[in-house]
C-alpha cells in the first residue's frame, strides 16, 4: 500500500482537480479550508485531521442506519466477487429480483413493479417518461405535462430540473424541457395568498392548496396533463408539511382527471418519517413512488421507481416495452446492499426508533426555538425537521437576499460546522436550518444538537439584533 496523503496534499489536489457539486469553487482556490471527511461511525463523522462531527443530515438524507456498518460493506464485497456487474437489459440477476419482490411486498396498494435507476434524479426523470409513454400506449398521447409545487426540488437532470422550482438552479440551463407547471405549496407559516384564503382553518387551507392542482389541470386542459409530482413532506422551503386532508384531496383530483400521482420520496422513503414510505405517513396511495438515497443507506448508489399494476399493464402487453434504460440501474452490488440494509431495518426496528423518539426530537427543536428570537417556526415530521429563521418573530419579518447570504453562508454554515454539527443551512426558499439525523440517533444525539444550536443561534440572534 502506498503512503496515505497528508491533509494538506489532499486539499491542494482537490483545489486543483476536484469539481465539487453546487459549490463555489473560488472559496477553495488555496485548498486550505476544504473539509475532508474521512470516516464515520453511527451518527458521527471524523475529518482527515481527526476532528469529530455529529452528522445531523445523514450525509444528504441518505445514511439511515448510520455510518461505518461493516456488514453492509461486506455484503457489497461478497456480491462484487460473485457477480460484479450485469445489466437489467433483457437479463436479470438474483439481487435485483429479490429486491424488486421485497419492495413490492413492503409498499402500499398495488405498487408491485420496480424500475431501478442509480440516482433520485434518474428516478424522477424515469417516472416522467413512464407517465408520458403510459398515456401514449393508452390512446392519450397529448397528456405529457407535469405539475409540481413552488420551491420544490426534484433533481438536476434536465427533465427533473424542469420539475424543480428553484429559480437559481434553473436559470443557467433555460430553456428547460416543455410542460412543467407550478402550483403553490402547503407552507402554512407563510401561506400563499390571493386574499381569498385569509382566515382559513388548516384543513380549509390544505384543501384550497390542493384545489390549485385541479384549477391548473383545468387551465392547461385535462387532456394535456400526465402527472403530479409531490413530496410527502416538501424538502426545499424547509420541511413543509402537507396539512390535514391535502393528499386525500389530491388523490381525488388525480382520479377525476386521469392524472398520475407520483410521490417523490427520494428523501421521505425508507423510514425518514417513521414509516417505510412517506405516503403511508399521510395515508395516501400514489400511482408511482420515486426513491433512492436511503434504500441502501448510501453504501452503494441505487434508485427505484415503484409502479402500480395499473400503470404497468399496457407496458406488459404485445410488443410494448418501456423505451428507457440506464446501464447501472439495479446494479447487483447496490441491490445486494439494499437487501442487507432492509434486513437491518427489520432486525433493529429502525422505524420503531424513529417513532419512539420523534416527539423528543421535535420537542428539543421547539425548546431551542422558544429561546431564540431568530427562529420563527419549527416544522416537519419524523426525523426530518426544519427551523425557519426570521428577522422578527412577532411579525415574521424576512431577511432580504443580502442578509440571508451573510447569515446563512457567511455565518451559520461555517459556525455550526466549526462547533462540530453537520446540518443544512439553506436559503433556496426562506432561510432554514434542516435536520435529518441517521434513523439510529436518539436522545444522546439530540442533546448534542441542542447544545451546539444554543451556542450558534444565540450568536446569530445577537448579530441580527445589533
Ligand atoms: N427528488 C427529491 C425529492 C430529492 O430530494 C432529490 C435529492 N435531494 C432528488 C429528487 C434528486 O436525487 P439525486 O440527487 O439522487 O439525483
pLDDT over 70 (residue 197): no
Beta bridge partners of 147: 181, 228
Which grid cell is 285? 396511495
Mean pLDDT of the chain: 95
Contacts of 385 (CB under 8 A, 6+ apart): 239, 361, 362, 365, 378, 379, 434, 435, 436
Q: What is the strand order of the sheet 421-422 is part of?
A: 37-41, 44-47, 52-55, 421-422
Q: How far is CA 405 from the centre of its chain?
A: 23
Fold agreement between 35-65+349-465 and 71-347: no
Distance 154 CA to ligand 1 centre (A): 5
Distance 292 CA to ligand 1 centre (A): 8
Contacts of 462 (CB under 8 A, 6+ apart): none
DSSP collapsed to 3 states, 187-232: CCCCCCCCCCCCCCCHHHHHHHHHHHHHHHHHHHCHHHEEEEEECC
Beta bridge partners of 377: 388
pLDDT single digits (tens) 44-88: 999 999 999 999 999 999 999 999 999 999 999 999 999 999 999
pLDDT single digits (tens) 22-48: 998 988 887 668 999 999 999 999 999
- The domain made up of 35-65+349-465 has a fold known as 3.90.1150
pLDDT single digits (tens) 411-462: 999 999 999 999 999 888 889 999 999 999 999 999 999 999 999 999 999 8
Q: Which range (128-142, 188-202, 372-386) has the least confidence?
A: 188-202
Contacts of 292 (CB under 8 A, 6+ apart): 117, 119, 120, 123, 266, 301, 302, 303, 304
pLDDT over 60 (residue 195): no
Which grid cell is 388? 425557519
Substitution site in 120, 166, 185, 424 for ligand 1 pocket (most atoms within 8 Å of beta carbon): 120
Distance 127 CA to ligand 1 centre (A): 13
**pLDDT above 90 covers what percent of the chain?**
90
Question: Which pLDDT score is estimated for 11?
Answer: 92
| Angstrom distance (rounded) from CA 48 to CA 202 | 48
Which grid cell is 103? 419492495
Report the SS3 class of residue 379. Answer: strand
Ligand 1 site residues (CB inside 6 A) read 119-121, 124, 153-155, 231, 235, 264, 266-267, 292
Contacts of 347 (CB under 8 A, 6+ apart): none
| Angstrom distance (rounded) from CA 326 to CA 328 | 6
Domain ranges for the chain: 35-65+349-465, 71-347
CB-based contact 61:384 (threshold 8 Å)? yes
Distance 265 CA to ligand 1 centre (A): 9
CB-based contact 244:202 (threshold 8 Å)? yes
CB-based contact 181:220 (threshold 8 Å)? yes
Q: CA of 171: how far to CAs of 155, 167, 175, 205, 265, in Å?
A: 14, 6, 8, 31, 25
| Angstrom distance (rounded) from CA 85 to CA 380 | 39
- The domain made up of 71-347 has a fold known as 3.40.640
Substitution site in 152, 185, 292 for ligand 1 pocket (most atoms within 8 Å of beta carbon): 292
CB-based contact 116:355 (threshold 8 Å)? no
b/e burial code for range 431-454 (CB count within 10 A of at least 16 → b): bbbbbbbbbbbbeebbebbeebbe
Substitution site in 58, 125, 154, 242 for ligand 1 pocket (most atoms within 8 Å of beta carbon): 154
Q: Is the preceding peptide bond at 175 cis, omega within 30 degrees of 0?
A: yes
CB-based contact 62:294 (threshold 8 Å)? yes
Distance 155 CA to ligand 1 centre (A): 5
pTM above 0.95, yes or no: yes
Residue that the C-alpha cell 416538501 belongs to: 234
Amino acid at each position: 500500500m502506498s503512503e496515505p496523503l497528508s491533509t494538506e496534499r489532499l486539499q491542494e489536489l482537490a483545489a486543483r482537480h476536484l469539481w465539487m457539486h453546487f459549490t463555489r469553487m473560488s472559496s477553495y482556490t488555496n485548498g486550505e479550508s476544504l473539509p475532508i471527511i474521512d470516516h464515520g461511525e453511527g451518527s458521527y463523522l471524523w475529518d482527515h485531521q481527526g476532528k469529530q462531527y455529529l452528522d445531523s443530515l445523514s450525509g444528504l438524507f441518505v445514511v439511515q442506519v448510520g455510518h461505518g456498518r461493516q456488514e453492509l460493506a461486506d455484503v457489497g464485497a461478497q456480491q462484487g466477487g460473485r457477480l460484479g456487474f450485469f445489466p437489467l437489459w433483457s437479463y436479470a440477476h438474483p439481487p435485483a429480483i429479490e429486491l424488486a419482490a421485497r419492495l413490492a411486498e413492503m409498499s402500499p396498494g398495488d405498487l408491485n413493479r420496480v424500475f431501478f435507476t442509480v440516482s433520485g434524479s434518474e428516478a424522477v426523470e424515469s417516472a416522467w417518461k413512464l407517465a408520458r409513454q403510459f398515456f401514449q400506449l393508452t390512446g392519450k398521447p397529448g397528456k405529457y405535462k407535469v405539475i409540481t409545487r413552488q420551491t420544490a426540488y426534484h433533481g438536476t437532470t434536465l427533465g427533473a430540473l424542469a420539475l424543480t422550482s428553484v429559480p437559481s438552479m434553473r436559470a443557467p440551463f433555460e430553456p428547460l424541457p416543455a410542460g412543467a407547471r407550478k402550483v403553490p405549496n402547503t407552507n402554512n407559516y407563510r401561506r400563499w395568498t390571493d386574499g381569498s384564503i385569509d382566515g382559513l382553518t388548516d384543513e380549509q387551507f390544505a384543501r384550497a392548496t390542493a384545489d390549485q392542482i385541479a384549477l391548473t389541470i383545468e387551465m392547461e386542459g385535462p387532456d394535456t396533463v400526465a402527472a403530479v409530482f409531490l413530496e410527502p413532506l416538501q424538502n426545499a422551503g424547509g420541511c413543509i408539511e402537507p396539512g390535514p386532508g391535502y393528499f386525500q384531496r389530491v388523490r381525488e383530483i388525480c382520479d377525476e382527471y386521469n392524472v398520475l400521482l407520483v410521490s417523490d420520496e427520494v428523501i421521505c422513503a425508507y423510514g425518514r418519517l417513521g414509516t417505510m414510505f412517506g405516503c403511508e405517513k399521510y395515508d395516501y396511495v400514489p400511482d408511482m413512488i420515486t426513491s433512492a438515497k436511503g434504500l441502501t443507506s448510501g453504501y452503494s448508489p441505487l434508485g427505484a421507481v415503484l409502479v402500480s399494476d395499473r400503470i404497468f399493464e399496457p407496458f406488459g402487453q404485445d410488443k410494448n416495452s418501456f423505451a428507457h434504460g440506464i446501464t447501472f440501474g439495479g446494479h447487483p452490488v447496490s441491490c445486494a446492499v439494499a437487501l442487507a440494509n432492509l434486513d437491518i431495518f427489520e432486525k433493529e426496528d429502525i422505524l420503531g426508533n424513529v417513532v419512539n423518539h420523534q416527539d423528543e426530537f421535535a420537542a428539543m427543536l421547539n425548546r431551542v426555538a422558544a429561546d431564540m428570537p431568530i427562529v420563527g417556526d419549527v416544522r416537519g415530521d419524523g426525523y426530518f425537521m426544519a427551523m425557519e429563521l426570521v428577522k422578527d418573530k412577532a411579525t415574521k419579518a424576512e431577511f432580504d437576499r443580502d442578509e440571508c447570504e451573510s447569515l446563512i453562508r457567511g455565518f451559520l454554515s461555517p459556525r455550526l460546522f466549526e462547533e462540530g454539527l453537520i446540518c443544512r443551512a439553506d436559503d433556496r426558499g426562506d432561510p432554514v436550518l434542516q435536520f435529518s439525523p441517521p434513523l439510529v440517533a436518539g436522545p444522546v444525539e439530540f442533546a448534542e444538537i441542542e447544545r451546539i444550536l444554543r451556542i450558534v443561534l444565540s450568536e446569530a440572534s445577537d448579530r441580527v439584533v445589533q
